[in-house]
Amino acid sequence: MTQYTPMIQQYLQVKASHEDAFLFFRLGDFYEMFFDDALNASRILEITLTSRDGGSNGRIPMCGVPYHSAPGYIKRLVTEGHKVAICEQVEDPKQAKGVVKREVVQIITPGTVMDDQLLSDRDNNYIGALAIDGNSYALVVADLSTGEAKAYLRNGESATMMADLSRHRVREAVLDRATYESWKERIHSSNEFAASSEERDSVPDMFAEHVGLLGHPLQKKAAGRLFQYLKHTQKRSLSHMRKVVPQSDSVLMKLDAFSKRNLELVETNRTKGKKGSLLWLLDKTMTSMGARKLKQWLEEPLYVRNEIQARLDMVEALYSKFFEREEIRAKLREVYDMERLAAKSAFGNASPRDLLQLKVSLQNVPSIKEQLLQLGCAGSEKLFSQMDAHEGLAEYLENAIHINAPLLLKDGSIIKEGFSKELDEYRDASTNGKEWIAALEQKEREKTGIRSLKIGYNKIFGYFIEITRANLAGVPEDRYERKQTLSNAERFVTPELKEKERLILEAEDKMADLEHRLFLEIREHVKRFVPGLQELAGCLAELDVMQSFASVSEERRFVKPVISIRGIVDIVNGRHPVVEKVMDAQEYVSNDIRLTDGNSMLLITGPNMAGKSTYMRQLALTAIMMQVGCFVPADSAELPLFDQIFTRIGAADDLVGGQSTFMVEMLETNYAIRHATKNSLILLDEIGRGTSTYDGMALAHSIIEHIHDQIGAKTLFSTHYHELTVLTDTLPQLKNVHVSAVEEAGKLVFLHKIVDGHADQSFGIQVAELAELPSPLIQRAKHILHDLENEGKHSSPAVREVAASIDVPESQLSLFETPVKEVSPKQHKNEAVISMIQSLNLLEMTPLDAMNKLFELQKKIR
């Protein structure tokens, strides 16, 4: 270390404790980075790389950013999954002996950001911690910016755990060291979230009360790991963190990652954006906290009848009371993000503008409560009773914070006049000092009768009263104290002048210090109200979501659904809510959906693009909308509560994971049939299309039978295998329906209407024609189709000859067939050929061996 300058030695000592973070080292008005940090940061941030003298080893790499623009650069680093350690001067440079003392005051990571510039207003920023015991694991997710925390207890392997982290959209996962080392490559390659390690899992004393609701030791370990990590990285008060609430799968509808993606609940598959998702349709929230609450509800719908009914009743009240709803919307528009404002106050980084926003928000709560009473339902009365408007705090902030408070504390003019007598005197002295002196001079002239009396100032003696020698007889000796003698005059001071002098000369310095101290006291005062403010914010967020549901329902002609106690689905003229909105200029074709205990499965046939997938998705979205408490797109709707929804809709290769469309299809289907119950909803779209016709048909057939016989869940199954429609003869719960389409003048017209029975044909070539494939190609396909229909499946004479001679069903050869016994010479030669084919171990054959064997088989057949 001695080869470096003292300042660089200090940097290296701090960096040694934060090797996994970019160290922002404060030097004056800049945050500087050195060595590898400088090389990497200059590339990522696209800033100039320079160098400086580092000691006897010569110059070292260096780059830096101004401290006032640091948040923007930190955001870029954190967005890419990096950590940033902020190292500040913790000693007054004027009092320092040698190098100014510096310490890391905060470590900013993807899951712990608190700066407004680093956060999305309408999205939570979750950090998650895992505790693992064999195949059991606990996951605790928390949002540091709002203080909320939830705990889950699950079973599964590492793939399940990683999927769970993705499902909860965590920005950062906190793992034990062993798990971190084994996962870090996969996490880095997936780029879905960052990962950090924390070996300690005991709950810190300061968070002992936060885990009081957790009953399982594994959940407490996960919470302990999370709180240890937050304590290590944030290095400040975390009093805004709320109790960790255990989440029970029995009260929530379970939506796996596949279903969330396939149903496009919060983002679309194509653009990964909000527009076109169910969230986009339903989001008419007026506050950021309402928007976040809506997203949470969509990702975790309820599975508790009473709570769902209470939400529906509340939405109905808001729906029917237009003027009250509009007044609530208007007042909510004036409410700022109280969740994050409260958290920032407790965290110690609330600005003057933040407290001003908190005051304005609180001042709108009484009006909102008045409108709640007008709604006249149990839900509104409950919210009314839970809302504490904190009038006292609002009045306190009204008296304390200036209406034009600046964004930054250092800009001054924060505290309102009248809040602090001492501060008012400083301000008055600073702004009105000359006027005071002139007024005092006039007052002293009148008191003493000395018209030549004047008040002067110099840097040595400060302010003084000067009286000529001819007028010394009129000087009041009880108040005037001689300060200086001149040749033709005397200078005096009075207690009042001394006080004015002190105020004037010290006003600027003391005013800034006092205002800073007063603001910290105000923030500390607000901190005592944080739990109540968080509860109020939660009530306002719920109200905001439900008024959003009511507003959308009125605009889109949604109806209040009935929660079925008969376990049936009976939707009359149901619609896909998002598709309907997107095609507003056109008339949407609505469809009925009916599923009962005696008819729980629909087998849907019909051409591509006719609307099979839309029909299936609209049932799932209708169920989700009901279970979050929203009205639904239909003329009338009765649905049961679904404990889970499973979907396999659309084709998607997992190229990074090395999985084909068919493999993804099978994995999603496997997850559904292993986890579904009688109370689940299963949507399977064209299962088996990713492999050969016979394999696909066999799989689809078997899957339908398994769901019918073993699970009994409400199921919609679409297929192009028309041969499967005969299953209705043997499966009593299965019913055939199809999407109607007609040909007019040789052109295909989709009617988008679901009707009973199965489709007569697939219209594949007509769909290709609609897609405007080249005309010669279409005509050639029609000729080939004609040949196939007239001559059977094999248009090649050679193939038909082989098939006829072998006299076996045309099917795909299996790579994994069990070898059969050696063929007897007495058996038919074609049976011998079949046995030979079955006995081949293709996995151990070279291409040349396979060609030779094929040639030998061909000779035998001929």
Could you list the residues known to form a binding site for ATP, using ranges: 606-613
Q: Give residue for tokens 């967005």.
A: 79
Tokens, residue 687 = 């299962």
Residue 98, sorted as left (phi over 0), alpha (psi -120 to 50) or beta, turns out to be: left
> In a 3-state reduction of DSSP, which class is residue 508?
helix
Per the annotation, binding residues are 606-613
Strand ranges for 198-348 from DSSP E: 245-246, 254-255
Distance CA 759, CA 689 (A): 18
User: How much is the CA Rg of the chain, to the nearest whole Å?
Assistant: 38
Distances (CA, A) of 668 to 168, 598, 648, 650: 19, 27, 6, 11
Question: Would you give the DSSP letter of residue 487?
Answer: S
Strand ranges for 375-532 from DSSP E: 454-458, 462-468, 481-485, 489-493
Q: Which residues contact 458 (CB under 8 A, 6 or more apart)?
A: 464
Phi first, then psi: give them for residue 624, nearest 5 degrees.
Answer: -65, -45
**How would you classify the pairing of strands 591-595 and 569-574?**
antiparallel
CA 825 to chain centre: 70
Distance CA 185, CA 629 (A): 41
- Sign, CA torsion 538/542/545/548: negative
**How would you classify the pairing of strands 83-89 and 136-143?**
unpaired
Phi first, then psi: give them for residue 727, nearest 5 degrees.
Answer: -65, -20
Distance CA 766, CA 771 (A): 9
Phi first, then psi: give them for residue 126, nearest 5 degrees.
Answer: -90, 140
Distance CA 423, CA 414 (A): 11
Q: Which helix (H) or strand (E) holds 196?
A: strand 194-197
Closest by CA position to 206, among listed 239, 233, 176 = 239
Distances (CA, A) of 661 to 363, 445, 657, 670: 56, 99, 11, 14
Contact of 595 with 671, CB cutoff 8 Å: no
